Amino acid sequence: MNERLRSRLGIVAVALIFILNGALSVAILPRYADISASLGLNTAALGLARAGETVGLTVVSTLLALGLAKRFGSRLSYGLPLVIYCLAPALIAIAHSGPTLFAAQVVRGASNAPVDLAQTTLALAISAQVGRKLMPRFEIGFSAGALLGSGAGAWAAGRIGLFPYLVGVAAVALALGLVAWCFLPSPSAPTEERKEPTTDERGSRALWALAILAFFSLFAEFLGQDWSSIFYTGDLHASPTQAGYGAFAFQVGFIAVLLFGTRLDERFGPVLVVRVGGAVFATAMVVFVLSHSVLVATAALEVAGLGAGNLVPLVLSGLEGHPDYKVWVARITAVMYLGPGASKLVGVLAAATSLRWALAVAVPVGAVIVVMASALRPSQSS
């Protein structure tokens, strides 16, 4: 195989991993109403059980993922976690209580951490090679996968039982994941002489500000989807099939704005794009929580997806060209992974008040994004 073909297959493989990761991240979302009902969990118990994913993500990304990637390279450290991550939906399928669901989610998050770190590191390496911001384009693949996953979940609700659906998702994901892994490129192996990060104190503060922005951006991304099926079936009294509309609509808006992410960034700059996105997201979520019809709620979530679509890609693009990007990818993603956990814990707030009031947290989340967007200014480089 010549080098040019190998390089192209490597790029396709990385894109396929983004697609697969996106599909797996949301394929279960439309079925959480079924899971909650089958296990007899209220919103607080469901939220705490689902927070297991964030526990796994954060612990592994902080303690293991960076070390594995530095020692072996992203490709080798990716294999076993990829297999486990693909099989995680089957573990959720056999969960029979809140604690077992929590354990399954911990395994899911722990296996996703090195997968996510590897795909981000490889995408940034490819961007550096070609000299262009490609992270928004790779994120299009992630969102396309999420669109497929949410669409499949919405279609299957009310048609396919929970157990066969989740096992089927695991089987398909495993097959595609192994094919992608065979062609996944390996970044240059680290050497013993590699120096410690050289980012100065000022640059370090700017990068930690970027990490905080990443946290709230991913918080927003998950908040727009995590509780939609519960909100539809509980507050809107929608059917199981309609319960999947919210996550699907969010992904439609998400991928629509991603298609123009690079152009918007080049024309208006990342700071303005992220500020407008945060404001649009917060406004749309207000409409969502105040809605009393499936149609209005679905339209609001689609607009919320438009607001959230470019947030995480532009935050991660802020690392492109940074001399210590491999180190800071792990640090920033470790902080960013706390965002989905914060979204899951909204269920605890919902149990104390109501899901409508709990989802109003989208307003301060959007406000923080608007303020923290200044972390994307070029001064962050060392």
Q: Which pLDDT tens digit goes with each residue over 154-181?
A: 888 778 888 999 999 999 999 999 998 8
Does the residue 149 lie in any domain? yes
Whether pLDDT at 193 is above 70: no
Q: Within a domain: residue 195?
A: no
Q: When comparing pLDDT for 343 and 134, which is higher?
A: 343
For residue 196, what pLDDT band results from cuts at 50, 70 and 90? very low
Residue with more model confidence, 103 or 133? 103
Place 199 in a pLDDT band, splitting at 50, 70 and 90.
low
**pLDDT at residue 92 in the model:** 93
Give the per-residue pLDDT at 70: 57
Residue 193 lies in a domain: no
Taking the C-alpha atoms of residue 327 and residue 67, their distance in angstroms, rounded to an integer, is: 10
Quick one: CA dihedral 160, 161, 162, 163, positive or negative? Answer: negative
pLDDT band at 367 (very low <50, low <70, confident <90, very high): very high
In a domain, 353, yes or no: yes
- Find the mean pLDDT for residues 271-300: 93
pLDDT of residue 192: 41
Look at residue 191 and tell me if it is in a domain.
Answer: no
- Rounded CA-CA distance 41/95 in Å is 12
Predicted confidence (pLDDT) at residue 214 exceeds the cutoff of 80 = yes
Task: Work out the mean pLDDT of the chain and round it to a whole number.
Answer: 82
Give the residue numbers spanning the domain of 359: 3-186+200-380
Q: What CATH number did the domain enclosing 359 receive?
A: 1.20.1250.20
Total domains, the chain: 1
Does the residue 357 lie in any domain?
A: yes
Higher pLDDT, 233 or 62: 233
User: Hey, what are 264's tokens?
Assistant: 């918007």
Tell me what pLDDT residue 228 has: 85
Residue 40 in any domain: the answer is: yes
Tell me the Ramachandran region of residue 131: left when phi exceeds 0, alpha when psi lies from -120 to 50, beta otherwise. left
pTM: 0.75
Mean pLDDT over residues 4-12, rounded? 79
Q: What is the pLDDT of residue 117?
A: 79
Residue type, 84: I
Q: Which residue has the tokens 């094919």?
A: 179
Q: How confident is the model at residue 198 (pLDDT cuts 50, 70, 90)?
A: low
**194 falls within a domain:** no
Query: Which pLDDT score, from 0 to 100, does residue 189 have?
Result: 42
Is the pLDDT higher at 188 or at 318?
Answer: 318
